[in-house]
Structure 1
Amino acid sequence: MKLEKWENITEWPLTALSLLFIGVYAWQILAQPQGAWYAAADWVMNALWVVFAADYVISMILAPHKWEWFKKHLFDLAVVLLPMVRPLRVLRVLTALNALHRTGGMALRGRIVMYVVASVVMLVLIGSLAILDAERFAPGARITSFGKALWWAFVTITTVGYGDYTPVTVTGRLLAVALMVAGIALIGVITATLASWIVDEVSADEKRATEITQDQVEAVSKKLDALEQKLDRLNQSTPTNG
């Protein structure tokens, strides 16, 4: 299938470009370069965006059922379109998680744990950068440094919500909603994985107990057979009185 071949070829290169994308974006937000450096960073960001948009268009062209593919890849479309809003550019890096999700040679639960950990770290990082970009220079903003942004992102994704730092811009509030929804989803995955592990451990203990019981029954059965054989031999060797 042409689409599968294209995805296999481009998956890891696009993942590397996504990480480069967030690296340049983070440098823009944290270092705030000026002049030629800012222009160079902006050029790299735009060039990468063109690559991602081209990948989306090519994938749609190669898809055998385009409407079904379109409905299943709405997030990819959003990732292509939303970077027009500067603070949302960082969402592009979320596609890097696809490579982790498809990593082979690992048990399902191990992949889930790795995927969840990577998702939490990445969401907190990009949430911090995006909220700082959206809020830093807004009138009345309280999230004005990366440390505050990092604290806000961690508190928000865990759905604790202390309220000590709150976004004042529309973009910042949209980011907060997205991060809270992502946090609820991740908590659900963590809970399900933990429950699955507990069930498997209980099942394993019951299986071991059953195996021990069966071994004991077999051992007792063998002893009874040996005892019966001895009794038969004794009966055969004992003379009968006529």
Structure 2
Amino acid sequence: MAKRKPQLIAYHVGVTLLTMISVGTVLLLLMGVGKATIEIAIINGLLVVFAVDYVARLVLAKNRKIFLIQSAFDLLGIIPLHPVFAFFRLGRLVRLIRYHHLFWRLRLNSKWTRAYHQFIYKTGFIYLFSFSVTIIVVSAFLFSLTEKQSLANALWWAITTATTVGYGDETPHTAIGKIIASVLMIGGVGFIGLLTSTISGFFTTRGQQVAASQEKHEQADFDQLLLKIEALTTKVDDLQHQLDTTSRHKQR
């Protein structure tokens, strides 16, 4: 395995620390612990840092299309609608763990990492999730502008509308707001439905694969047992033949 450059390792360590600080600060803000003004200042400062980092990596990327797909969570993590979007930055840590093969270095089972990669990328979950969040975020932003609502309330409205929960505490009153709501109902519900079916389909397929694997192992064990029984039967027949031969010799 090729050695990682010290500068790259230092950069990744710095990203990890900043990610943990941002997530921890958001948790403190949501729980009402500490001074909100200081926590908001830290959150906004780190938002700028991660935004600059994202743009720099996008400019330097050799294949921007692949970068946009693989860094979908990073883009969601720099959306300034609500501090909770900082939790999407944890996806960056997962990629860093896979990049440095930390599970392999720690001699941990790699089945989890393979299942994670299969679930996130091969099923198309990352794309559906990104589209769903994008529709919700854009709708919330437009709703906030047209209905003169705060970004937090607009985001809450968009989530409850897209998931068909519809508490009714926030509703559109303008014509443009109703159009936005209609688009969100059609597009958001469709993508979230696909998202739900993708998750259930993945676990159903995984269950079937596990059951088939167990059945295969059981069949292999059964076949091996039959071979042992057949070999034992052959040995018993040979022993019986030898006893019969010895008995006939004695009778003579």
TM-score, normalization by structure 1: 0.57
Counterparts of 1:80 and 1:233, CA distance in 2: 82
* Correspondence for 1:93: 87
Return the offset for 1:13. 1.4
Please give the alpha-carbon distance, in whole angstroms, between the structure 2 residues aligned to 1:172 and 1:6: 46
CA distance in 2, matches of 1:97, 1:80: 9
Question: Does the 8 A contact of 2:25 with 2:43 survive in 1?
Answer: yes
Q: Secondary structure at the match of 1:238?
A: helix
Confirm or deny that 1:8 pairs with 2:2. no
- Look up the SS of the partner of 2:63 in the other structure: helix
CA deviations on 1:186-218 (whole Å, 9 max, x unpaired) are 641442133123222222123213312321332
Given residue 49 of structure 1, which amino acid in structure 2 is its aligned partner? L
Do structure 1's residue 192 and structure 2's residue 192 form an aligned pair?
A: no
Q: Pick closer, same or farther for the CA change 1:89–1:196 going to 2, 3 Å.
A: same
Change (3 A) 1:82 1:203: closer
Distance 1:12 1:180 in 2: 35
* Matched residues, number: 213
User: For residues 53 and 144 of structure 1, what CA distance do their matches in structure 2 show?
Assistant: 24
Instruction: Map Cα deviations across residues 36-69 of structure 1 (whole Å, 9 max, x no partner).
Output: x7754543333122221343355457x5xx3415
Shift of 1:10: 3.0
Cα deviation, 1:173-194, whole Å, max 9, x if unaligned, reads 8887568636633641442133
Cross-structure match for 1:34: none
Structure 1 residues not aligned, in runs of 5+: 32-36
Q: Is the CA contact (8 Å cut-off) linking 1:18 and 1:92 kept in structure 2?
A: yes
Letter of the 1:198 counterpart: Q
- Structure 1's 107 and 191: CA in aligned 2 closer, same or farther, altered over 3 A? farther
Kindly state the Cα deviation for residue 9 of structure 1 after the two structures are TM-superposed.
1.6
Percent of residue pairs identical:
10
Output the amino acid matched with 2:195. A
Separation in structure 2 between the aligned mates of residue 171 and residue 4 of structure 1, nearest angstrom: 44
The match for 2:49 among 43, 48, 51 is 51
Output the CA distance in 1 between the equivalents of 2:222 and 2:74: 57
Mapped to 1, the partners of 2:10 and 2:225 lie a distance apart of 55
Alignment partner, residue 111 of structure 2: 108
Is the aligned partner of 1:75 residue 2:72? yes
